Amino acid sequence: MDQVIIQEVGLRDGLQNQPRPISTADKLALAWSLLDSGIQQLEVTSFVSPRAVPQMADAAILTESLFAYLKAERPNFDTCGLSALVPNRRGYDAARNFPYQQLAVVLATTDAFNQRNLNMTTELALKGVQDLMVQARSDGLRLRVYLSGAMGCPYQGPVPVRDVLVLAEQLLKLGADELVVSDTTGAGSAKLARDLLHPLIALAGTSRLSLHLHDTRGQALPVALAGLDCGIRRFDASVGGLGGCPYAPGATGNVATEDLVYLCEQEGCSTGIDLAKLQSSIAFASRITGQALGGKVSIWLRSQQPDCTWQ
């Protein structure tokens, strides 16, 4: 049975754009619940300016508390699966105060997106990513690179496949450990995914590629299935479909972790994640955000409960 690795990004991508402040204690409780469900890869937070993303202002204390909890309560947990997003050298240096073994950086596919997200051109942003790669290699860290807007830019619209391939080739040559093909606005389709992934896989193979999908237009699962059919075995997902990018107007949540787990199981792949336990995480995330969360499979699972009532 093929193994699919799901990186849970609900704590970072899922919460970063939430209007209701989420306490550090609630974030920790959500992290514990997710780990209980079998999540092994968890993006904990983002070391960004608290003025730009107030929801991530507690990055340091959240990280410190989570590592302390794991050391005390789960000494056998492999913390190499924990990661954080760093937008620049300042964020990188802040994250290096903690025992992360992998970090993530972002590069968008267009100048317009990079200007809004990083306040610089694509050329300058690529240079910044290169500098972080050099430093990460020196520090012995694994670096994931999000290629944002790979299936559509929120400001310029469709992005030619060729433009994505040129950037991807540069990033891979520079030494990206993992290239995260990100459909930030949910603009993708199964056909577009295949058109993009076939040449990317020819360029890099499947082991260095993953998919980060948003479900803005209801196409995240078809795109994920296309990715599975192409041989992709690494995906990002967010518990309950939490998400939204502050720099991508109209973008909604990531593909729901539970829906992706169910899809993988139906396709004969293993994720190591317990769907029943994941329902507790969804319920808790709903409570702390004040939102009705849950993918399609959550609705179905609730309908199977004997005491289920619908209002």
Give catalytic residues, as residue numbers.
245
Q: How does pLDDT run across 60-85, given as a tens digit for each residue?
A: 999 999 999 999 999 999 999 999 99
Q: What is the pLDDT of residue 311?
A: 35
Q: Residue-wise pLDDT tens for the chain (311 aa)?
A: 799 999 999 999 999 989 899 999 999 999 999 999 999 999 999 999 999 999 999 999 999 999 999 999 999 999 999 999 999 999 999 999 999 999 999 999 999 999 988 889 999 999 999 999 999 999 999 999 999 999 999 899 999 999 999 999 999 999 999 999 999 989 999 999 999 999 999 999 999 999 999 999 999 999 999 999 999 999 999 999 998 655 555 556 899 999 999 999 999 999 999 999 999 999 999 999 998 899 999 888 877 775 544 33
Q: How does pLDDT run across 15-47, given as a tens digit for each residue?
A: 998 989 999 999 999 999 999 999 999 999 999
All structural domains of the chain, each given as residue ranges with its CATH number in brackets, are 2-303 (3.20.20.70)
Q: What tokens does 87 get?
A: 């937008």
Q: Are 186 and 213 in contact (CB under 8 A)?
A: yes
